[in-house]
């Protein structure tokens, strides 16, 4: 029996399935500058977007990216997402997720929170950081919609927010949560050894006492990864009425699971999709590291034995894209707006 036609057919089918699963675009990269709503000083953001350009390997602030810098935006109307990084973090820590979502038809703005990033810790432990971060997310939404490069290709629907670690707290506030500062104080009295949450012993520095939690009605869905959420009881979360997809690792070495993601999943008014990753630590949500990063920051890059960060991220990218497509509506490729035709 000649098995060659069967083998050829199987190979063709595998190729078709691989192409069907492949993202239709490459990830473009655009540097966005806007004003910090707290003091009007310049604030930086990186925008990843669907592009028809040629992607290249680059290294940006120590992170390896495959992007098409300032290449043409693909024709269409695309949903907007904003990424909020963790305390003293970088938006580039989630570059693989942002790039994957851009390849699937989302515009992803990853902002650098002033005073709370890898090179500037000046707002850590302050009210201006707690309440300023959500205002910065709102400013990023407005800046993206007003941007001459991105704006014409953004749809006019709701916006998704992706929050990692302290960025999860930020995402909850911008979607309607009201932080309970007494909860933080009580927590730190109970667990003073929590060096991450209790650096200021549970009492935030009142540098901007006039600031309050401000929700943004443009936010329509949340993806939270290892979210810092211990300041939110059920009443504090009563104003959050958007769908959420929550991930956490059951081996999180920074955040107490029972007071953060696990409790949050029980208390949100809209029951979230909560996914607990076996063996995963706090840093599992950061992009897989290359050899240079493993040498430079081994604590962040090393996972527990048997935990496959690359495989987890493959699922995370697909599931996040599916979630936002279902909650915000997917991309509409090839439909050029009147505004876009002028550029």
pLDDT digits (tens, 9 = 90+) for 243-275: 999 999 999 999 999 999 999 999 999 999 999
Q: Output phi, psi for 61, to 5 deg.
A: 50, 40
- Domain for residue 18, yes or no? no
pLDDT reported for residue 35:
97
- Domain for residue 252, yes or no? yes
Our count of domains for the chain comes to: 1
More confident site: 17 or 236:
236
- Domain for residue 146, yes or no? yes
Residues 168 and 162 sit within 8 Å (Cβ to Cβ): no
Distance CA 161, CA 195 (A): 27
pLDDT reported for residue 4:
46
Specify whether the backbone of 205 is left (phi greater than 0), alpha (psi in -120 to 50) or beta: beta
Q: What is the pLDDT of residues 40-98, one digit of tens each?
A: 999 999 999 999 999 999 999 999 999 999 999 999 999 999 999 999 999 999 999 99
> How many percent of the chain have pLDDT more than 90?
86
Band (218; pLDDT cuts 50, 70, 90): very high
Instruction: For residue 52, give its domain range.
Output: 25-337
CA 53 to each of CA 49, 95, 314: distance values in angstroms, whole numbers, following the listed order: 11, 18, 23
- Domain for residue 11, yes or no? no
Tokens 């211990």 map to which residue?
A: 230
- Domain for residue 93, yes or no? yes
Tell me whether residue 209 is exposed, middle or buried, using C-beta atoms within 10 angstroms of its C-beta: 0 to 12, 13 to 18, 19 or more: exposed
pLDDT reported for residue 334:
80
pLDDT reported for residue 338:
36
pLDDT reported for residue 150:
97
3-state helix/strand/coil string of 242-304? CCEEEEEECCCCCCCHHHCHHHHHHHCCCCCEEEEECCCCHHHHCCCCCHHHHHHCHHHHCCC
**With 90 as the cut, is the pLDDT of residue 197 above it?**
no
**With 90 as the cut, is the pLDDT of residue 228 above it?**
yes
The CATH number of residue 32's host domain is 3.40.50.1820
> How many percent of the chain have pLDDT more than 70?
91
Query: To 10 degrees, the CA torsion angle through 192, 197, 200, 206?
Result: -140
pLDDT reported for residue 93:
96
Residues 270 and 243 sit within 8 Å (Cβ to Cβ): yes
Q: What is the pLDDT of residues 274-327, one digit of tens each?
A: 999 999 999 999 999 999 999 999 999 999 999 999 999 999 999 999 999 999
**Which pTM does this prediction carry?**
0.91
Q: What is the pLDDT of residues 128-184, one digit of tens each?
A: 999 999 999 999 999 999 999 999 999 999 999 999 999 999 999 999 999 999 999
- Domain for residue 6, yes or no? no
Distance CA 257, CA 248 (A): 8
pLDDT reported for residue 195:
77
**With 70 as the cut, is the pLDDT of residue 2 above it?**
no
Tokens matching residue 133:
């971060």
Q: What is the pLDDT of residues 13-25, one digit of tens each?
A: 444 333 334 568 9
- Domain for residue 20, yes or no? no
């Amino acid at each position: 029996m000649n098995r060659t036609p069967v083998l050829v057919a199987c190979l063709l089918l595998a190729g078709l399935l691989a192409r069907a699963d492949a993202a239709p675009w490459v990830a473009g990269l655009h540097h966005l500058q806007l004003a910090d709503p707290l003091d009007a000083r310049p604030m930086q953001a990186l925008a990843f977007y669907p592009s028809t350009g040629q992607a290249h390997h680059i290294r940006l602030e120590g992170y390896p990216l495959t992007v098409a810098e300032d290449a043409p935006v693909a024709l269409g109307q695309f949903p907007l997402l904003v990424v909020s990084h963790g305390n003293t973090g970088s938006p580039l820590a989630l570059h693989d997720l942002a790039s994957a979502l851009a390849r699937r038809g989302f515009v992803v703005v990853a902002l650098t929170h002033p005073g709370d990033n890898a090179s500037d810790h000046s707002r850590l432990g302050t009210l201006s950081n707690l309440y300023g971060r959500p205002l910065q997310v709102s400013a990023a939404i407005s800046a993206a919609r007003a941007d001459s490069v991105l704006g014409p290709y953004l749809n006019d629907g709701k916006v998704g927010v992706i929050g990692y670690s302290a960025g999860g707290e930020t995402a909850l506030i911008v979607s309607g949560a009201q932080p309970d500062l007494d909860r933080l104080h009580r927590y730190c009295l109970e667990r003073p050894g929590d060096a991450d949450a209790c650096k200021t012993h549970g009492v935030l520095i009142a540098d901007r006492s006039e600031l309050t939690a401000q929700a943004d009605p443009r936010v329509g869905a949340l993806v939270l990864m290892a979210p810092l959420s211990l300041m939110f009881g059920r009443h504090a979360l009563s104003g959050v009425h958007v769908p959420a997809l929550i991930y956490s690792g059951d081996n999180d070495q920074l955040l107490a699971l029972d007071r953060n993601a696990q409790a949050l999943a029980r208390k949100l008014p809209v029951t979230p999709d909560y996914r607990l990753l076996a063996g995963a630590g706090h840093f599992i949500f950061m992009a897989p590291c290359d050899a240079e990063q493993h040498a430079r920051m081994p604590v962040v890059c090393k996972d527990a034995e048997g935990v496959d960060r690359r495989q987890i991220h493959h699922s995370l990218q697909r599931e996040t894209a599916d979630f936002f497509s279902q909650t915000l509506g997917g991309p509409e490729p090839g439909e050029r707006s009147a505004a876009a035709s002028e550029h």
